[in-house]
Structure 1
Amino acid sequence: MTKDVLLSISGLHYDVTGMVQEEEQETIEVITPAAYYYKNGKHYVIYDEVVEGMPGVIKNKIKIYEDGKLEIMKSGLSNTHMTFEREKINMTEYETPYGKLMIGIHTRELAVEAEEKKIHVHVNYALDVNGDQIADCNIEMNVKALDH
């Protein structure tokens, strides 16, 4: 795969608290250029995320393991290190400009399909904040080589 890639991440959160109406729930999709490299059997994708209305960026590093593990590290405006592992619950602190949250990630499904010029990752997980489950979530991530 080339160093320059196009990253597409789409996520859908199903509210389990009953506070958000189903028709108000929508898929969030980000498509951005990113840098890619492969090291020690892991795929790395690095990109900057701009937050509307705030100065600065969030630096993102995604580490994809082909045996079914995913790590997302954020630094800058938000700071966290989220780990997704099939059938495991991982706790982490999520620091935002508005304060810190303790989040739990219970990964139900995680599938990685890695090919020569593209990688697809599917994740289904339950998200809890401060011990209360707030959403069921899906993430679809596609990394595609940019041909020069």
Structure 2
Amino acid sequence: MDKNVLIHVRGLQMMEVGEEQEPIELVVPGQYYFRNGSHYLRYEEILDEGSEPTINYIKMSPQSMEVRKQGLVNVHMVFERGKKNMTFYTTPFGTLQMGIVATGMELNESDNNINMKVDYALDMNEEHVADCYLSVQAQPADSKDFVL
């Protein structure tokens, strides 16, 4: 796959049973590379108008996914099936302790498409707060559409 890609990130948090939630979606240009059996993505995200961009790094392999944000917010989230990983989510308003347990994980790879889907349980300060879904897809930047 080309180095320059379009990255589509989609996330959903189900906070309460029966409550309809709006997915969070982002489509941005970024960079892709493959090294030591893992796929890597890098992209910039503007979280607040007028602020410096937050740099996002995503590492994907069949066994795990890591999401690292550096900037206005800072976090290093590790998703591994059946294993609870703890992290601190730092924002301008304070820091939260998060626990993440991936309950489902699927990586689909082709010459022009990388797609990773993760279902996970999210804890905040040792208390379960949501069941979540995260999908990350990358295709060459000249591709006209995404296959979801």
SS at match of 2:22: coil
The whole-number CA distance in structure 1 between the counterparts of 2:136 and 2:71 is 22
SS at match of 1:2: coil
The whole-number CA distance in structure 1 between the counterparts of 2:56 and 2:137 is 15
State the number of aligned residues.
143
The whole-number CA distance in structure 1 between the counterparts of 2:123 and 2:22 is 19
Query: What do the CA deviations read for 1:71-125 (whole angstroms, capped 9, x no partner)?
Result: 0011111111100001111101111111111100011001101111110111000
SS at match of 2:70: strand
Q: Is 1:51 paired with 2:51?
A: no
Letter of the 1:116 partner, please give it: D
The whole-number CA distance in structure 2 between the counterparts of 1:4 and 1:130 is 38
Q: Is 1:104 paired with 2:99?
A: yes
The whole-number CA distance in structure 1 between the counterparts of 2:120 and 2:74 is 20
Match of 1:63 in 2: 59
Match of 1:9 in 2: 9
- Aligned-residue RMSD, C-alpha: 1.6
**Shift of the alpha carbon at 1:52?**
3.0
Give every structure 1 segment of 4 or more consecutive aligned residues whose post-TM-superposition deviation is greater than 4 Å. none
Q: Is 1:36 paired with 2:32?
A: yes
SS at match of 1:22: coil
Letter of the 1:91 partner, please give it: M
Letter of the 2:33 partner, please give it: Y
Q: Is 1:94 paired with 2:94?
A: no
Q: What is the TM-score normalised by the length of structure 1? A: 0.91
| Unpaired segments ≥5 residues, structure 2 | 144-148
The whole-number CA distance in structure 2 between the counterparts of 1:53 and 1:15 is 27
Does the Cα contact within 8 Å between 2:9 and 2:136 map onto a contact in 1? yes
Q: Is 1:22 paired with 2:19?
A: yes
Match of 1:134 in 2: 129
Letter of the 1:96 partner, please give it: T
The whole-number CA distance in structure 2 between the counterparts of 1:77 and 1:51 is 7
Q: Is 1:114 paired with 2:109?
A: yes
SS at match of 1:7: strand
Q: What is the TM-score normalised by the length of structure 2? A: 0.91
